[in-house]
Amino acid sequence: KVTGSGIGLMLVNRLVRIHNGKINIESTEYQGTTVKIVFQKDNRKLQKPNQKSTPEPAIEIPELTAPATFKCIANASNNANLQRILVVEDNDELRSYLFNLLSSLYNVQTCVNGKEALIIIKEFWPELVLTDVMMPEMRGDELCVAIKNDIETSHIPVLLLTALGEEKDILKGLSIGADEYIIKPFNVTILRESIKNLLTNRALLRSRYASLVTDTQSMVPSAKGTNSLDWKFISDVKKHIENNIDNTEFSVVILCELQGMGRTSFYNKLKTLTGYTPNGFIQLIRVKRAAVLLKEGQHNINEISDMTGFSDSKYFREVFKKHYKMSPSQYAKCGENISPVTLEEDGDETDNDVNK
């Protein structure tokens, strides 16, 4: 199970091509491998002393240490407020290299194969997975498929890092849902910027997912990084809340049961996709419905409070004012084009906070 870092053949390929050669490899498991390298017989033009090759871009090399198993545990506690990245790489030196490269910017956890990653993901809840493709136990492309087809993890961006640089390999990686594909040997700056861009795009998607709250028609995913499971998840959550809009006993626990998800995984997914906690999301749907009823003018404030699941009209007024920066009565008079304010929410919440 001890493997290389996956860049040896890539380097050989580059060297052969520099000399206008060709290389071909045929391999059958348990039978053998044939490597054919062909050079031009008359290759004098490459022997001119004044010929200069194009220099490769400089690669920044952070300090290499022993495998980062223990170090990454300490890092997780020290950088708890940083964005979380899971690095999946079976080669000890490369895994340590990637950890040292990224740990100053992110909260980094590491593991050695896809099977371990699937377990750690449900505990660490990373905001991005950086994985090699060629690994024992479970390959990186198989891990990507598992992540993207699980409703609890389908929102997590996956970056494939591999020496498989042929066009067919890249297309295959992208077709299974990978958000980015980087070929070894890689440029450090490009890797860092790719990670940064994926995390930034994920943040931008939150507004698109959250917009489902105000849309009356179903939306079709179009932006890069979207996943049909994620759109279905948001649509289903919204539908469950709307179907129970007047139920004062409706809670996050009931919502999790309707979604068939555990509380922790549900919280992490909804918070990552929309920026709202489950309680905050329920509350937002309710005040949006209340705003519609207020503009219709057919019910008084106490009736609307009951119709939108707030058993206490005083609390309803407080929540509405917090979202719309005006009282319900003021909104009924002049708030036709006013949208609710996105609120910063605390991480801790209780079921009773929804209804008071």
Distance CA 60, CA 100 (A): 12
Q: How crowded is residue 161: how many other Cβ atoms within 10 Å of its Cβ? A: 23
Residue type for position 290: A
- Which pLDDT score is estimated for 37? 93
Which has the higher per-residue pLDDT, 136 or 224?
136
Strands (E), the chain: 22-28, 32-38, 84-88, 107-111, 128-132, 158-162, 180-183
Report the SS3 class of residue 282.
helix
97 burial type by CB count under 10 A (0-12 exposed, 13-18 middle, 19+ buried): buried
DSSP characters over 218-276? -----STT--HHHHHHHHHHHHHHHHTTT-TT--HHHHHHHHT--HHHHHHHHHHHHS-
Phi/psi for 48 (5° steps) reads: -65, 130
Quote the pTM value. 0.65
Query: Domain-by-domain residue ranges, the chain?
Result: 8-47, 69-206, 227-355
Structure-model confidence comparison of residues 252 and 297, the more confident one: 252
Give the pLDDT band (50/70/90) at residue 54. low
* Banded pLDDT at 213 (limits 50, 70, 90): low
Q: Does 85 have pLDDT greater than 60?
A: yes
Residue 254 pLDDT level (bands cut at 50, 70, 90): very high
Fold annotation for 69-206: Rossmann fold (3.40.50)
User: Dihedral (C-alpha) 274, 278, 280, 286: value to the nearest 10 degrees?
Assistant: 100
pLDDT exceeds cutoff 50 at 263: yes
pLDDT in tens, 69-81: 444 444 444 566 8
Is 16's pLDDT higher than 60?
A: yes
Lowest mean pLDDT among 44-48, 87-91, 166-170, 313-317: 44-48
Could you tell me the end-to-end alpha-carbon distance of the chain, in angstroms, rounded to an integer?
56
Mean pLDDT (whole number) for 161-177: 78
CA distance 240 to 238: 6
pLDDT at residue 163 tops 90: no
Give the tokens for residue 315: 């609390």
Q: In this structure, which topology does domain 227-355 adopt according to CATH?
A: Arc Repressor Mutant, subunit A (1.10.10)
pLDDT for the residue 6? 63
Of 23-32, 119-128, 137-146, 225-234, minimum mean pLDDT range: 225-234
* Cis ω before 185 (30° cut-off from 0): yes
Query: What pLDDT was estimated at residue 36?
Result: 93
The rounded mean pLDDT for the chain is 79
Q: Give residue 210's pLDDT.
A: 61
- The C-alpha atoms of residue 114 and residue 148 are separated, in whole angstroms, by 13
H-state helical runs in 40-109: 69-78, 92-102
Q: What is the C-alpha separation between 185 and 229, in angstroms, rounded?
A: 33
pLDDT for 111 beyond 90: yes
Strand order in the sheet with 158-162: 107-111, 84-88, 128-132, 158-162, 180-183
Q: Which residue has the higher pLDDT, 1 or 322?
A: 322
